[in-house]
Every structure is written in structure tokens, then in C-alpha cells.
């Protein structure tokens, strides 16, 4: 649930060098999402790589900032967990997210057309 006045606990400082970047999961308007393996824990994450120049060119800075703030405060079992963000790279902004295999829900729904009521529960 979103609790606007309550921030998540301080996140451990993460660096891009903590990850081995692997294959691309998908692409979008501002960049791509790639798999990343955390070198110490061996855990897999989704790493959203957003092109800073495209965000600025398309005047989406406020939108991306809002996405960051919302993801940082969410805690719900149906929404991927946000692990942190990295902004020190001159070309990319990185969002580190829980990896959930199976694809994007929008793509699955578009392919299926609709879900039966029982499946959607």
C-alpha cells in the first residue's frame, strides 16, 4: 500500500559495478530493461536503463521523477519491488527492480484480448 508520509527504510548504497549486465528484456521510448546479476548475492534483477538525453528532449523529467517517488514508496505484493536508482552515469539513469519472469502484463493482456473473471482474480 502507498503511505505518502512514510518513506521506505534507507536503501543500501548500490553501484552499477555491483551487477553483471546480461540480456535485454525489453525496450521502450527512453531506453531498455536488462537483466542484471548482483555479483555478491547472485540474485537476478531487472535494470531499467533510461536515456537522460531522451527524457530531457521529450520533456519527461517530472514524469520520471514521479515514477521514482511512487516506486520508492510502494510496497504491494502485486507490484515489483523497487531496489534503488543510480544517476551517476552521464548518459543513463538506472532503476534497479525486482525481476519477475513472465513478461509485461500489458503485453500479455494485449495478446489475450481479455482475461476470464476467474483468471483475473
CATH number at residue 30: 3.30.200.20
Give CA–CA dist 5/96, Å, rounded: 23
Q: Is residue 8 one of the residues assigned to a domain?
A: no
Asked whether residue 2 is domain-assigned, the answer is no
Mean pLDDT to the nearest integer, 25-31 = 90
Domain assignment present for 112: yes
pLDDT given at position 12: 67
Q: Does residue 39 lie in a domain region?
A: yes
- The answer to the question of residue 6 being in a domain is no
pLDDT digits (tens, 9 = 90+) for 58-117: 999 999 999 999 999 999 988 899 999 999 999 999 999 999 998 777 788 888 888 888
**Residue 38 falls inside a structural domain:** yes
Give 48-106 as a 3 state SS string: EEEEHHHHHHCCCHHHHHHHHHHHHHCCCCCCCCEEEEECCCCCEEEEEEECCCCCCHH
Query: With pLDDT > 90 as the criterion, what percentage of the chain qualifies?
Result: 66
- Model-wide pTM > 0.85: no
- Number of structural domains in the chain: 1
Mean pLDDT across the chain? 88
Domain range enclosing 92:
16-120
Amino acid at each position: 500500500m502507498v503511505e505518502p508520509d512514510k518513506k521506505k527504510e534507507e536503501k543500501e548504497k548500490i553501484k552499477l559495478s555491483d551487477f553483471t549486465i546480461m540480456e535485454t528484456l525489453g525496450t521502450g521510448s527512453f531506453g531498455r530493461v536488462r537483466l542484471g546479476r548482483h555479483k555478491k548475492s547472485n540474485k537476478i534483477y531487472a535494470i531499467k536503463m533510461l536515456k537522460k538525453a531522451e527524457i530531457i528532449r521529450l520533456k519527461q523529467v517530472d514524469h520520471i521523477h514521479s515514477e521514482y517517488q511512487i516506486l520508492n514508496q510502494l510496497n504491494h505484493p502485486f507490484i515489483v519491488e523497487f531496489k534503488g536508482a543510480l544517476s551517476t552515469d552521464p548518459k543513463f539513469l538506472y532503476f534497479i527492480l525486482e525481476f519477475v519472469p513472465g513478461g509485461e502484463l500489458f503485453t500479455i493482456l494485449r495478446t489475450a484480448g481479455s482475461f476470464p473473471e476467474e483468471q483475473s482474480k
